[in-house]
Amino acid sequence: MKIKRALISVSEKTGLVEFARELAAMGVEILSTGGTASLLKKEGIPSTEVSAFTGSPEILDGRVKTLHPKIHGGLLFLRGNEDHEKQARENGILPIDLVVVNLYPFEQTVAKADVTLEEAIENIDIGGPSMLRSAAKNYRSVTVVVDPADYADVLENIRANDGGTTLKLRERLAIKVFVTTSNYDSAIANFFNREQETTCSFSVTMPIAARLRYGENPHQQAALYGRPGAGIAGGEKLHGKELSYNNLVDLDAAYQLAVEFSAPAVAIVKHTNPCGCAEQDSLAAAYRKALECDPVSAYGGVIGVNRAVDEETAREIAKLFVEAIAAPDYSPEALAILTARKNLRLMRVHAGDDRLVVKSISGGYLAQTADRATLERSQAVVKSQRQPSEEEWKALEFGWKVAKHVKSNAIVYARAGQVVGVGAGQMSRVDSARFGAMKAILPLAGTAVASDAFFPFADGVEEAAKHGATAFIEPGGSMRDADVIAAADRLGVAMVFTGVRHFRH
């Protein structure tokens, strides 16, 4: 079936002029609306306004323009069905063979910090999804294009098939339509649900970004889903081998920790837990301090930084075998140094705004808001007789940020701007205190200890103090808080309660 009539109505006009000009040159009659019609007219491409085609004006500030039987009838009637064709003739319905539509930019609109409810509502497209779904439903006869990236394929297909398109192409394009409209509806639902404590249903739809060789282990299948531009999933791989499932998980852990800090910071991660982290006056200094914590575990690790990687930092990193790096950017000199390492994966990443953290369990999913809690010193309460010194305060605040990114039970030994030891994922908190001390290479005397949850007994404080810790920060809230505080006073250490817990399971 030759394409004789096309309806074009798009918000995203990339590549449209060239595409429409080719269609017109092939003798295709073009129908268009609003801004699309104005653009085609300006470019000298003949088109008929939809209002002239239907005989009905655009009304209600453009809310109603394509919702008309001559549009949807032209898309939906079954070609070759005698009854449908008879009804089409009786109602003056002409076939529309090609639909080119993309939708109002709802997600981009609601991503703005100052978006109003009225602005969001006016960017909910009604006519666009309706035309797309009508055309996709009748894909056996109608070609539907929702993505400008498909313009070239469509034109090539028309040229190769005597002015028509193949069923295989139409099927593929129809599938893309239903995925797109599903994503669009989910974005709208999520926007209106975002202020609710709970919602009646939960849906996440994302396009596939990459097929992975395998998952955590070679016998598991895996893929990455996400949208370009934000977070690790939307990051740009600049160099190196294919990213693995485990690389991506570790890159996310490293980058999320690094961006906790305002000064130049580096996080080195192994199996999602930090084996080094530091915040210093320069990125190179932060990397050196981070590496000092556990250089053995750092071998083959993943690095996250919160600044563009410069030449000095790149030279330091290049001395170590590293699997991957996530950074906002890289200087040309840094890229030249790091790309000399053939297999090193380099990711350019911009922070995402993930409101929900989602995990799967058997039979369903768990969803929670992201842990964005921060510590203001004025909100913390000193429970011990001894007040922390200024240097201890800095170490406590730094360690508290890191503890949020360590698997529970989490104990972090820290100095101001540097992690000294990490006890992660132990079943008892006192074991985490022992493990963090055992792993420490740097001296522990004078360190501060951050605990992601309360000490259930005084033994965790006693264990860490035995290794030289002089200040502690924890949420408080144990039925034995009084015993823990008494132990701190007996040992002469400072004890600070935050009132906030940072479990990470």
Mean pLDDT, 10 residues at a time, the chain of 505 residues: 88 89 91 87 88 78 78 86 85 89 82 83 85 91 92 92 91 91 82 64 75 94 86 92 95 96 97 97 98 97 97 97 97 97 94 77 88 92 98 98 96 98 96 96 97 97 98 97 98 98 95
User: Which pLDDT does position 354 carry in this prediction?
Assistant: 67
- Catalytic residue at 407? no
Question: Residue 28's closest CA among 95, 101, 78?
Answer: 95
- Ordered by where they begin, the domains of the chain are 5-193 (3.40.50.1380), 210-348 (3.40.140.20), 377-497 (3.40.140.20)
Provide, for the chain, the percentages of residues in helix, strand and coil under a 3-state DSSP scheme, each rounded to the nearest 5.
40, 20, 40
253 touches 397 (CB < 8 A) = no
Options 13, 68, 84, 271, the catalytic residue: 271
- Catalytic residue at 271? yes
Residue 477: left (phi > 0), alpha (psi -120 to 50), or beta? left
Write out 95-150 in H/E/C secondary structure. CCCEEEECCCCHHHHHCCCCCCHHHHHHCCCCHHHHHHHHHHHCCCCCEEECCHHH
Q: Which two tokens stand for residue 221?
A: 């299948």
User: Which pLDDT does position 104 carry in this prediction?
Assistant: 81
- The CA distances from residue 358 to 3, 365, 383, in Å, are 45, 7, 36
Options 137, 237, 239, 241, the catalytic residue: 137
User: Rounded distance, CA 312 to CA 291, Å?
Assistant: 15
Q: Which SS3 state, helix, strand or coil, does residue 8 take?
A: strand
Q: Which two tokens stand for residue 233?
A: 């999933």
User: Which pLDDT does position 353 carry in this prediction?
Assistant: 65
User: Which pLDDT does position 55 carry in this prediction?
Assistant: 76
